[in-house]
Structure 1
Amino acid sequence: MKEIDMEITLSTTKKTKPQADKLEFGKVFTDHMFIMDYITGQGWHDPRIVPYQKITLDPSAMIFHYGQSVFEGLKAYLTSDKEIFLFRPEKNFQRLNKSNERLCIPPIDVDKVLEALKELIRVDQGWIPDAEGTSLYIRPFVIATEPYLGVAPSDRYQFIIIMSPVGSYYKEGIHPIRIAVEQAFTRAVNGGTGEAKTGGNYASSLKAQEVSDKEGYAQVLWLDGIEKKYIEEVGSMNVFFKINGEVVTPALNGSILPGVTRDSIIELLHHWNIPVSERQISMDEVYQAQKAGTLEEAFGTGTAAVISPIGEFLWQGEKLSVQNGETGELSKKLYDTLTDIQNGRSDDPFNWITKVEQKVIQN
């Protein structure tokens, strides 16, 4: 691993940590943050850990006008042995660079920023909750900061990492959710920014989510933007279907985000010798399988929930039940296996875990 030489300024005023049973996602943040700057001709420079604080930008900063921004999401876990685990963090930073490339943002050095993240975690290691199902959510992001009203790649950027303790996604075990198949709005198309993790993708999904919320559905199932026929994602997650013994997930096609959890699920299924394929799958195929009784399970995958079982689809006015609205056996096994590895409750045969060595921080 590459070492990173950076300045660390510790906060003199510590925040009050929330109780584990009162944690809300993305509401409370740790005492410190990591920042690094970029200027064309100088490159990435001045890496530093500083007290969590507001950032000041010029009103003409290009992020506000042309949306040059990317982000990632990953977690740190505290095991029962008080070890700190990260789950495949290099994958997140590699994906960040792919998003950077699509948005014309200069790449980061994956090894160096991973070392910076470890140091930030060590500084705020007391913020990692230890209650069952809790973790420290980590949000790295890049924004364009050059003050310029011109449609062109920025010459200045900031790379920032903030962290937030979060509770269990499922308070009382995993439960299937109801999904509405989206027919009017489009999330992304091949050639767009669908495979990049950029804020604009999420902003464009809000209207469809607002409509589905009013109809009592937790998420929307996105179809392709051209024919409105082929399945792509569910909400902000990748999606899987178990049909007649085979697990199928939409193939990465340029408009689908390549999820780290998605990749891990596929690797696990291969490891268990369960047939799995990445291919084009239509909503009509899912409909026909449900009618024939061969649609055995459906679930979304992502960092926050890991596995989110789907119990019902609403498509063209018809409600399609999956697994009688109950969590399927495979969904539960995948969830238990991944969370056991992430939390150090079981062995890691895939070398997915990165340990963060702890140390005493002197104020």
Structure 2
Amino acid sequence: MLTFTTNSRTDPMPDEERTAILADPGFGKTMTDHMVRIKWTRDGGWENGELLPYGPISLDPAAGVLHYGQEIFEGLKAYRHEDDSIWAFRPEANAERLQRSARRLALPELAVEDFVESIKVLVEADKNWVPEYGTGETSLYLRPFMIASEAFLGVRPSHEATFYVIASPAGAYFSGGIKPVSLWLSTEYARAGEGGTGAAKCGGNYASSLAGQVEAVAHGCDQVVFLDSSTHTYIEELGGMNIFFVHRDGTLVTPELTGTILEGITRSSILQLGSELGLQVVERRIPIDEWKDGVASGEITEVFACGTAAVVTPVGTLKWDGGECTVSTEPGETTMKIRETLLDLQYGKTADTRGWMQRLV
């Protein structure tokens, strides 16, 4: 297991300024005082980690990440509980997904225990940035990422990589509160293709979703939903969230993993929670017409999206070129039950019987 040296900031943000930010943190707007860095080389492997003052990264203009997009990242949250302890939700699952992403992007794999320790080191240093318990859906958002840092021009895997963790206090992802969002069905763009990087958490997948998101906003929608790139028939995911459908017989359905869909930590947790709540959980390919027809017939009673940032978000309307359908104008009962179950666990309001929570501080 790696060890970490500490170089604490000599000029941390004053308490008064930090308190004002935590009162209304938004999402991803302000970074904490420190960051973690771990370097890797092909010949030497992983070096011991460092806690450093947060600040700009120095990169050679020829660094591989800038030219060939060789980078991956993760996203998870730290939650303050009523006893003032600070916890993370399934961080080892994020570590394992980062390893899968690394294999796909030809980057080095960081051990699970070193990933988790890097999170602990940063949260311990910046624990005053974790919002107080009872202040709504507030948390400290953690962003681990890895980049190809070798300076070279040539299409091959980088011989050097650097792993970082930064953090930002976060409020509710959707500032308007819990209300159904509208989705635009993208038929011109695809998020990922067969054999590509769709199952990895890398920046290229998000970059490819942005044109669809711009299109969604232009049509008055909050988010975009993508179809498979081969047949343009099957539902895959949103630009940054997985999607679920609740049927009137109590079945909970989500698109199966095909190699083009990101395996969300929240998604996998909901699959288990759904079964525990008495729902029949199904993973399968879902034609887009099933969504449209299911809403029209009443077969589909609720739709929701999920992800680390937004947790569980009800979906109301699907719009496409030439039509739209609305499943509900209010959050559904099953959607809210799953959402509350997750949040109560994350904030320590209910017992963790599954071993999903890990104490950081």
Q: In 2, are the aligned partners of 1:34 and 1:47 still within 8 Å (CA)?
A: yes
| Pair 1:321-2:298 in alignment | no
- Residue of 248, 268, 277 corresponding to 1:272: 277
| Pair 1:202-2:200 in alignment | no
Q: Secondary structure at the match of 2:342?
A: helix
Per-residue deviation at 1:170? 4.2
The CA distance in 2 between the partners of 1:242 and 1:303, in whole Å, is: 20
The equivalences for 1:48-127 within 5 A come to 48-127=50-129
- Residue of 246, 249, 254 corresponding to 2:259: 254
2:247 is matched with which residue? 243
The CA distance in 2 between the partners of 1:190 and 1:172, in whole Å, is: 36
Structure 1 residues 27 and 222 mapped into 2: Cα distance closer, same or farther (>3 Å)?
same
1:176 is matched with which residue? 180
Q: In 1, are the aligned partners of 2:106 and 2:157 still within 8 Å (CA)?
A: yes
2:308 is matched with which residue? 303
1:234 is matched with which residue? 238
- Residue of 2, 5, 8 corresponding to 1:7: 5
1:5-39 CA distances to partner (integer Å, 9 max, x unpaired)? 22101110011314333212111111110000011
Per-residue deviation at 1:117? 1.4
Q: In 1, are the aligned partners of 2:39 and 2:162 still within 8 Å (CA)?
A: yes
Q: Secondary structure at the match of 2:272?
A: helix
| AA of the residue aligned to 2:211 | K
1:126-179 CA distances to partner (integer Å, 9 max, x unpaired)? 110112211000000000011100000000110000000111224464110011
| Pair 1:225-2:225 in alignment | no
1:203-239 CA distances to partner (integer Å, 9 max, x unpaired)? 1111111111011101111100011000000221000
| AA of the residue aligned to 2:85 | E
1:360 is matched with which residue? none
**Cα RMSD for the two superposed structures:** 1.1
- Residue of 277, 282, 287 corresponding to 2:292: 287
Q: In 1, are the aligned partners of 2:26 and 2:173 still within 8 Å (CA)?
A: no
1:44-63 CA distances to partner (integer Å, 9 max, x unpaired)? 11311011111111101111
The CA distance in 1 between the partners of 2:21 and 2:43, in whole Å, is: 46
Identical counterparts, % of pairs = 42
The CA distance in 1 between the partners of 2:59 and 2:21, in whole Å, is: 33
Q: In 2, are the aligned partners of 1:21 and 1:167 still within 8 Å (CA)?
A: no
The CA distance in 2 between the partners of 1:335 and 1:81, in whole Å, is: 23
The CA distance in 1 between the partners of 2:177 and 2:61, in whole Å, is: 45
| AA of the residue aligned to 1:292 | S
1:361 is matched with which residue? none
TM-score w.r.t. the length of structure 1 is 0.95
1:157 is matched with which residue? 161
The CA distance in 2 between the partners of 1:112 and 1:31, in whole Å, is: 21
Per-residue deviation at 1:190? 1.9
The CA distance in 1 between the partners of 2:176 and 2:216, in whole Å, is: 24
Q: Secondary structure at the match of 1:309?
A: strand
1:340 is matched with which residue? 344
Q: Secondary structure at the match of 1:200?
A: helix
**Worse overlay, 18-27 or 340-349:** 18-27
Q: Secondary structure at the match of 2:343?
A: helix
Moved over 3 A (4+): 170-173
| AA of the residue aligned to 2:334 | L
- Count of residues in correspondence between the two structures: 354
**Worse overlay, 84-93 or 18-27:** 18-27
The CA distance in 2 between the partners of 1:352 and 1:82, in whole Å, is: 19
Q: Secondary structure at the match of 2:152?
A: coil
Q: In 1, are the aligned partners of 2:26 and 2:172 still within 8 Å (CA)?
A: no
Q: Secondary structure at the match of 1:178?
A: strand
TM-score w.r.t. the length of structure 2 is 0.96
1:354 is matched with which residue? 358
Per-residue deviation at 1:80? 1.8
Q: Secondary structure at the match of 1:28?
A: coil
